[in-house]
Chains A and B, each alone.
Chain A
């Protein structure tokens, strides 16, 4: 499973710290462009908060649409981080090593970005803070714990906190390396952040134990977050299309599907822009591709369950909603596109080994999955609301306004910008993890072949 040449610790330091110690030429132009996108987004958000939600395309049954879709989408992306690093760390999968950090950092940024969406989307965001941070003791009115909208921020905040801790713990040894490679102000900041890391046995033991513990503890959190996001919909007994018991696992596995695809794409980008061909090797992309086949198929199974048991009850309102989803323009076209680009096309591309090792094809498949998963949430949310009960008098449809489109697009700029800035100050591939992998690497002679092997402690 291990290809590529052997790497010395010095070379690992040099390669992986290059983007931090030497500034790439394209860095500031890229930051400028992305900041511009974010700035546009912020201005539009300001405009929307100033004028009221009337500037969106929302209307009377469709009170949630584009922004909530985008919220669920980014929460979904955020699921890759923990899924990859925690599960693979616990399973001691060797090929996780270059992928973990990028995945975890993507988690944090995607989560923070996701959080902005529902807050902006409330009628009075300035007051929504009241319930997100329950400080309203004076009036004695606490948030209603019965509401999924209270479960939601609680779960997301827990997830954000724990995944930030997760990243920090894995980051400490690498920050210490940075501290030793820098001078001046940077040195002082890195010294502070490295928390006195000396790399002695006791510290390593703590670091490893903390990593394993957090991996185990964060997994239930990771499952709960997207389950709770799904329950924002699933609890809604009125919207028949949403009131489905399978929503929790369906959303979780869908989140992993889109999240891992996003990580693969980010890894390919990193490999290309920073020249990390020796670290993010094609075998890693290949392994992730195989994982994605399994994840995608599991997701597809839940999709089938959701649809089959949607029609199963044969209730008039649910059938009307499915009719809109599958047969009415433009939803029918979106539905076909969705099924094609989320499952059939990417899985077909992931099946042959040569395709899994082709970066262009992999990038294409992973983007296609993410576009598809965005559509998935959209196709659940909007038709569900537009046909939510049997009174045809209030049936409606929805078209996003330019405000919503701009906001959604700018979130992509925001996440890219944050990732770019992060990669400028911290290594996006864990140095110590790669070194450990190199260290434990050996080979076994089986007959006439030399087979790569790993030293294991179990």
Chain B
């Protein structure tokens, strides 16, 4: 089977890219390793901010459903429960699907594989009950499984703050959130909500160890000094059966390494990612990136990057046009606006560093 456009990853970036491809009559295939499209949107219960164009006021999982329905109405071909294991010369995508290996040929490819959770070093960090914050979200918000009685959240970025609130909504006690930096990382509005609900946010604190033999039965937390070293004597043992790590994400860039994209290490964007410009073009002609794999941000920017990448792919396939470049410039402007706030300073600095590398 041959397609004009192959999209790897059916989250916000990939779904949006597929819809743009389809709008221009491009024969598009969208591949995802989960049983259903939606990526991480399916577990996001918080309402989005921004403008009407960016689904403001909708909850993440509702945005996922809207996009999924639009894709169902389109001509986009969808394969779920399929893992792309490699991208080979001529843009042949190797697929592991239903216990079989298959190949799909494409003329252009968008990689929108998202991100994976970062881990943290502490004693007993391998005990069952130490979970990524995203994993806990999946467990409780998608499958309705009660994740634990009392939780310790580690990290006060927006994910840590939002998932703490979601744990409280699900009936889990969250007595403490520890943050190693002296300041809360995420938005004040989210922090205020959990503080009102009774969670103590301890800045300049970290986890020392998880306690338990077979699974988490407690944790030791401590204050840190300005060099981030634990202050001896400040250790406190707390009673928890769940430890959630919300210490950041890194791009899932394995396919981009494999395909031979030039990779850059940009800590502000989460680690190694494929070099790309603001049109989401990588160093491999005809191959584009979008969403968290192109630098860790959030779903609104991922959707816009999906559009930008798709327009680049359409120009590559059908030839450039004034209409396409005007449309793309407009979306790039929207992205710039979204990134102009204080909270996007780090991302913006990372992107500048990336774009500045020739």
Specify whether A and B are partners: no
Interface of B with A (CB < 8 Å)? none
User: CB within 8 Å of B: which residues of A?
Assistant: none
